[in-house]
Structure 1
Amino acid sequence: MNSWLDVQTEVLRRLHNRVWKPGELLPAETDLAIEFGCARSTVNRALQAIAEEGLLERKRRGGTRVVVHPQRKATFTIPVIRLQIEQLQRDYGYRLISRRVQRPPLKLRECMKVPAGQNLLHIKALHTADQMPFVLEDRWINTQVVPEIATVDLKSNSANEWLVENVPFSGGDYSLSASMASDTEAAALSCEPGASLFTVERRTHTEYLSVITAVRLLYIPGYKMRIDL
């Protein structure tokens, strides 16, 4: 393994699969460094990053132990786009634009916390309201975390709704911004290139920080998000 991110990914995989159970003491850093073929400092950085997320407990001269009850961050509700549109008293429609298994670009790979060479499922879809474009969905899914997605008919079932209904998550992060529509995005959303689009970028993960999916949602010009406090 060449980087601490690779070590982190493998350690998280073992935690997720209960190779190391809650309360169990991990092998010494020197032993892990030999197993992973890297420097001890690389292992140390990876374990420290996971400990900062509350999954490992590290004590000087006491080693590193799997936390029995991981501290969870506050969760948030992921909206189902179909319900959003129907609540506006409009007819919902959905069209799958593309579905490909491919290697993600570097920035996306780092966002998804996957090792180099791993393929992800890349989905693009358009959600409509009264047969007019409403939001463009650009989504990446880690099929090693959600292998069931491989057999789902995404032409008739949106990934958004299927994931909400079938894949539990323990946390994530999201950002809200405005972005300028590219030519391709403008064509899909029936707007002018360069138009300002309300943009939601969201990532969700499992209890052991394995990223499930990262999605970028581009809403039509003029869209307003309402948040109930």
Structure 2
Amino acid sequence: MTVPEINSWQSVKAEVMRRIVERTWLPGDLVPNEVDLAEEFGVARATVNRAMRDLADAGLLERRRKAGTRVALNPTRKATLEIPITRLEVEQRGAIWRHAILERKETVTPVVVASRLGLPTNTPMLHVRSLHYANNHPFLYEDRWINISAVKGICDVSFQSIDANEWLVQNATFTRGDISFSAANTTKQEAELLEAGVGAAIFVIDRTTWNGDIPVTAVRLAYAPGYRMHTEI
């Protein structure tokens, strides 16, 4: 990339990455400061700063106050996960998807959920439990709590024509999330719903999302035995 082509923070980022990948700048090297790079590229310092912050967040640069910015000795590889739409996940497996609402009620936050979301126990919540199917076989049991005040119009959605998962992905704003993956044994309720033996091994995802500091939703996803997750890095 030539200097005249550098006119945005994305292009600054691309050029810096090129120098790192092609080892123009070696691991551990101190890179030029933002003022010098801004002058070289003919852009504002803020533009360079945005690019450098992004590369530091990606683990390619190490930025230390008063010590400058260096190429990371051991670059971190970070995986980015998207919230999948269950319907599409089932259909991509070549199966027919449908879901059933097991429970949908407005209530106050139970202690365990309130603690997880950092909310008072009297916060109004929408509790939705549903079962997703693949070719009429249980695929996923979803137990979800939604912060009513954080999602406009949520109480007017029946979730009959569209499930809570897909509706929230399309309509609810979130800026960050927390995801944990675990192996678990089915409870009696989960075993009945997933048509598995009590204590059978299953894959579980616990996910919470926030919009800024406001919690949006907390969900436990329990997959039927044999579920396999695939992702890329």
Q: Give the TM-score normalised by the residue count of structure 1.
A: 0.66
Give, in whole Å, the separation in 2 of the partners of 1:97 and 1:193: 20
1:39-188 aligned at under 5 Å gives the runs 76-188=81-193
Give, in whole Å, the separation in 2 of the partners of 1:155 and 1:177: 29
Task: Name the SS for the 2:222 alignment partner.
Answer: strand
CA RMSD in angstroms comes to 1.9
Give, in whole Å, the separation in 1 of the partners of 2:131 and 2:125: 20
Asked whether 1:217 is paired with 2:224, we answer no
How far is the alpha carbon of 1:82 from its aligned partner? 0.4
How far is the alpha carbon of 1:111 from its aligned partner? 1.2
Q: Which runs of 5+ in 2 are unaligned?
A: 1-49, 59-79
Give, in whole Å, the separation in 1 of the partners of 2:190 and 2:86: 18
Kept after mapping to 1: 8 A contact 2:100/2:132: yes
How far is the alpha carbon of 1:224 from its aligned partner? 0.8
Q: Deviations over 1:37-68 (max 9, x none)?
A: xxxxxxxxxxxxxxxxxxxxxxxxxxxxxxxx
Give, in whole Å, the separation in 2 of the partners of 1:195 and 1:228: 28
Percent identity between the two aligned chains: 37
Greater RCO (Cα-Cα under 8 Å, separation 6 or more)? 1
Give, in whole Å, the separation in 2 of the partners of 1:116 and 1:161: 27
Aligned residues: 159
Aligned residue type for 1:150: C
Q: Give the TM-score normalised by the residue count of structure 2.
A: 0.65
1:203 alignment partner in structure 2: 208
